[in-house]
Structure 1
């Protein structure tokens, strides 16, 4: 089985790490579906059977907003991907699956049902007078070096506290808060993140220092995967909550050989790694392997 070139390379100099880096989002491109759809959905189902209480959280009073998400998402999928999704009354069916997802009232969380339709994880952010914008509900199967339970109910500042230059009182924290306030239903945004990990697992709750300790002395390129997060932010027109989607792309480092501009991309990636300061390296869990990664990239 051949490894395709990466779909996204935000480490190529187009986006600077540890910046907000927002771009306007055409809502026609809100959700991304590829040939791995059924594999992602099967992995979500498997993980939920194992770790359900770590994957789904919801505050009381979020049902209507969750239902709003389910309706918006199902409508979008049927319109944009008619060969993959079809709706029959209160049910939506995915081509290739022998089951449908109910859009009506059931005992299952609406947000979780919505997340079972797509490769993205879904996080509902809500604003109140005490915490400001905070994580009110989520169906998150593929965490990137964090756990949902430690973030649930916490304010934006608390959620971003571990991120260098994003904690309470920083310029970035203020920008994020204003951005959430100013989002409009007709103007959504997207951004990209990247990290590195020593395996190809979508479910990756390990803290950064635990992740770094799992690299071995073997060929660093052979055991390194680039984890790219495509994130979108959409203001819900009825509830006023913000839906945060996270789509994970996992590429082995060696997949960069397939990129049509391999040399330019790996050189830019190496420069980004060289420019990271100690706090940023620690956060990404690559303090001890940064130099080996740079050497491996140059060999590509």
Structure 2
């Protein structure tokens, strides 16, 4: 197992606060930690389920500018794609979303290549303003939308902002427009298997403003690692336990963490107390 590239739980539980931090522009897309395992499946998904993972409306100039910006970092596009945004998306593991201001000054999702949705579909969110995108989030509408809108308004070209969100899931699926199949799997999972079957799902997000069109380019990279790798040291396991247990109850409900709680606790016990945990499993079996 690799060492997970992102361990956002070391900074505490997920929060409703935007938590955006500036990063060096050269770190925007590189290193692409997921390209080796995800680029081929992503391209296949883009070809076979295009209507599910791509949408655009009156955003030709914005898609062209976004693609030019990305391909300047990745090199020339590979393959035959219908739009510049899809050509660029096929070169990185990140999903690409373009937000544009409408006549009322609201930022709306106007173009997207979205292959790793975390429990939402492009069809239900496309064209909506920030308030509609964040409506299910605790405190997200109107508070979160207003804060993010101010960030978008004030963002200057050349600055790249980054944040990470995280959760757990059974298995390593990345195309997850619905959480229902994962919940069913979690309900059937045995606690003795939790450390090996649960995965840390990190959503690494970045935003930058395109200088010519003024649109916002929002990237989403889903990073999946076995939970065993993420909590392989006592320091990491204790930090994860603290973050899991101290999350705001409203956020835990939003993320559906109740269904995973017994599994996470079992995984933490197996990581922190491997001898005792193994003896307990033998006693239960015998």
Structure 1: runs of 5+ lacking an equivalent? 79-91, 94-99
Q: What is the Cα deviation at residue 34 of structure 1?
A: 4.2
1:71 aligns to what?
Answer: 68
2:168 aligns to what?
Answer: 196
Once the two structures are overlaid, the 10-residue window that deviates more, 263-272 or 62-71, is 263-272
Structure 2: runs of 5+ lacking an equivalent? 272-286
SS at match of 2:167: strand
1:274 aligns to what?
Answer: 245
Which TM-score applies when normalising by structure 2?
Answer: 0.87
Closer, same or farther in 2 for the Cα pair 1:181/1:36, shift >3 Å? closer
More helix by share: 2
Q: Does 1:225 align with 2:222?
A: no
2:89 aligns to what?
Answer: 115
Question: Does structure 2 retain, via aligned residues, the 8 Å contact 1:134–1:156?
Answer: yes
Q: What is the Cα deviation at residue 196 of structure 1?
A: 1.4
2:110 aligns to what?
Answer: 136
Could you tell me which of 38, 45, 48 is aligned with 1:47? 45
Q: What is the Cα deviation at residue 193 of structure 1?
A: 0.6
2:267 aligns to what?
Answer: 296
SS at match of 2:208: strand
Q: In the aligned structure 1, how far is the partner of 2:44 from the partner of 2:88? A: 16
Could you tell me which of 220, 233, 249 is aligned with 1:246? 220
Question: Does structure 1 retain, via aligned residues, the 8 Å contact 2:38–2:93?
Answer: yes
Question: Does structure 1 retain, via aligned residues, the 8 Å contact 2:200–2:227?
Answer: yes
Question: Does structure 1 retain, via aligned residues, the 8 Å contact 2:53–2:114?
Answer: yes
1:32 aligns to what?
Answer: 30
Could you tell me which of 139, 146, 151 is aligned with 1:179? 151
Corresponding pairs, count: 268
1:84 aligns to what?
Answer: none
Q: What is the Cα deviation at residue 59 of structure 1?
A: 0.8
Tell me which stretches of 4 or more aligned residues in structure 1 moved more than 6 Å: none
Q: In the aligned structure 2, how far is the partner of 1:4 from the partner of 1:249? A: 12
Question: Does structure 1 retain, via aligned residues, the 8 Å contact 2:99–2:215?
Answer: yes
RMSD, aligned α-carbons = 2.0
Question: Does structure 2 retain, via aligned residues, the 8 Å contact 1:234–1:244?
Answer: yes
Closer, same or farther in 2 for the Cα pair 1:72/1:101, shift >3 Å? farther
Question: Does structure 2 retain, via aligned residues, the 8 Å contact 1:13–1:269?
Answer: no
Which TM-score applies when normalising by structure 1?
Answer: 0.83
